[in-house]
Structure 1
Amino acid sequence: MRVIILGATSAIAEATARLYAKEGADLLLVARREDRLLAIRDDLLIRGAAKAEVAVRDLADPHGIEADFARFVAQIGGVDHIILAYGILGDQGPAERDPAQAEEILRINFNSAAAWTLAAAGALEKLGRGSLVVIGSVAGDRGRRANFIYGAAKAGLATLVEGLAHRFAGQGPRVVVVKPGPTITPMTESFNRKGALWATPEQVAAVVRRAADRGGPVLYAPWHWRFIMLIIRHLPTFIFNRMNI
């Protein structure tokens, strides 16, 4: 099993990589912080990974994405699974008033992620097999005042992934978007993270790992968010507008 993880220093990506390491997979970890990549690599080797290599890359940089992805595939000697797990939450309030901040949220969470998704899907199409799992968010299921810029980016990314899954239907490659609910990661450390609805990175990672083998094209993490978001999406507007969510 050869696995490329884009955004490998995120908490969910690291938890997912540990699951693959237990299976003895070959891993290529891609992110922009070399020190964190090396620390994660060493940990994964201890946990059983047959191979763990790193590639330092600012994934938000749009230049040379297709060529760099081909280089990643060559570095690890092929690819079976690809996990895309990076993004930023941003600050909704300032971003509403500052187009530059809004553009950064959209550029990183949609534009660059979409470009990597298309490059990865193209590689799988050439191989005629393999899986691509993209980590989205329940925030993209309905626009809410608290995070609609971030949510808009995640909604667009989910639509892209669903379209690719439809395109590959009945063929070898498979593409899945995993939509976590609120998760206890460094991205959410400024939130009040109490309550039963908060998930751990390990809980989400279990869904991501399963998604690479079966299910989809849309999976929620944990599973109960499918039903929560089904309700939220279908709330009448006059009720939804009274909710502070």
Structure 2
Amino acid sequence: MTDTWIILGASSTIAKAFTRSVAQQGAAVILAGRRMDDLEANAADATARGAAQATPVAFDARRPETFDGVLHAALASGGRLNCAVFVGSMPPQAAIDADPALIDGTIADSFTGPARLLQMLAPHLAEQGSGAVVGVGSVAGDRGRLGNYVYGAAKAGFATYLSGLRNQLGRSGVHVLTVKPGPVDTAMIQGLGKQPFMTTAEAVVADIHTALRKKRNTLYTKRIWWPVMTVIKLIPEPIFKKMSI
């Protein structure tokens, strides 16, 4: 059976790299996002690379009325369903401090919107008894840090959700992978200055495929982020709250 990948946030740099990789494997792709012109171009590229089918679908994590269209397109494909979530937004913390209303969109983009769609998809995944979910979070979700704690809170919530979904769907043979990248060379981090342990979208995608093959539950990419975040999580709170990391 041909795999069908629902790709949420399909216009992001990492999502495009992931789309190219599964298209070359002959999968069908449902490209879901806000920018239809970009999605249509991505669909044409995916088809040229060998995708069995490439369907652009309007999706906005802040507008639940767009969710049914994604699900219907996926079910109509007739393939084995999989889903990869690349949705997220990260306003500067200073902008959120000035306008707390920005919190709503950040949480919807990075947590509640994708979680709601996955919850709609879960019964279909459980019924087919196989497939995979790839949820892209962030190392920022491992501990609330001064510079991006609202974004970190959203990604922490999404990681906890994925953990529960993994517990649920794993009983039916569906694998759920939580991905925690550090800084990736994408538009999201432009303007933040030099970042430690920077990686590329292509490297993240290669790590995702390796983690899927090995049935890993959580992936830190680059790998160095696992020991780094382990140390950060162990710093006592009285000390941590005085630090500027």
Structure 2 length normalisation: TM-score?
Answer: 0.91
**2:186 alignment counterpart:** 185
Tell me if the contact between 1:12 and 1:202 (Cα under 8 Å) persists in the aligned partners.
Answer: yes
The answer to whether structure 1 residue 200 and structure 2 residue 208 are counterparts is: no
RMSD of aligned residue pairs (Cα, Å): 1.8
State the distance in 2 between where 1:206 and 1:121 align.
Answer: 25
**1:156 alignment counterpart:** 157
**1:29 alignment counterpart:** 31
Secondary structure of 1:53's aligned partner: strand
Specify whether residues 106 and 70 from structure 1 end up closer, same or farther in structure 2 by C-alpha distance, changes over 3 A only: closer
Shift of 1:125: 1.2
**2:174 alignment counterpart:** 173
State the distance in 1 between where 2:208 and 2:224 align.
Answer: 15
Residue identity in the other structure for 1:50 = A
Secondary structure of 2:65's aligned partner: coil
State the distance in 2 between where 1:32 and 1:79 align.
Answer: 25
State the distance in 2 between where 1:104 and 1:57 align.
Answer: 14
State the distance in 2 between where 1:236 and 1:15 align.
Answer: 38
* Runs of 4 or more above 6 Å deviation: none
Map 1:77-156 onto structure 2 (within 5 A).
Answer: 77-156=78-157
Residue identity in the other structure for 1:47 = R
State the distance in 2 between where 1:57 and 1:107 align.
Answer: 13
- Structure 1 unaligned residues grouped into runs of 5+: none
State the distance in 1 between where 2:107 and 2:225 align.
Answer: 24
Residue identity in the other structure for 2:226 = R
State the distance in 2 between where 1:115 and 1:25 align.
Answer: 24
State the distance in 1 between where 2:72 and 2:124 align.
Answer: 11
Specify whether residues 178 and 96 from structure 1 end up closer, same or farther in structure 2 by C-alpha distance, changes over 3 A only: same
Tell me if the contact between 1:87 and 1:109 (Cα under 8 Å) persists in the aligned partners.
Answer: yes
* % identical aligned pairs: 35
**1:9 alignment counterpart:** 11
Tell me if the contact between 2:58 and 2:66 (Cα under 8 Å) persists in the aligned partners.
Answer: no
Shift of 1:64: 5.8
Which whole-Å deviations, capped at 9, do the CAs of 1:135-165 have from their partners, x for residues lacking one?
1011000000100000000000000000111
Residue identity in the other structure for 1:90 = P
State the distance in 1 between where 2:180 and 2:126 align.
Answer: 24
State the distance in 1 between where 2:120 and 2:213 align.
Answer: 20
Secondary structure of 2:101's aligned partner: helix
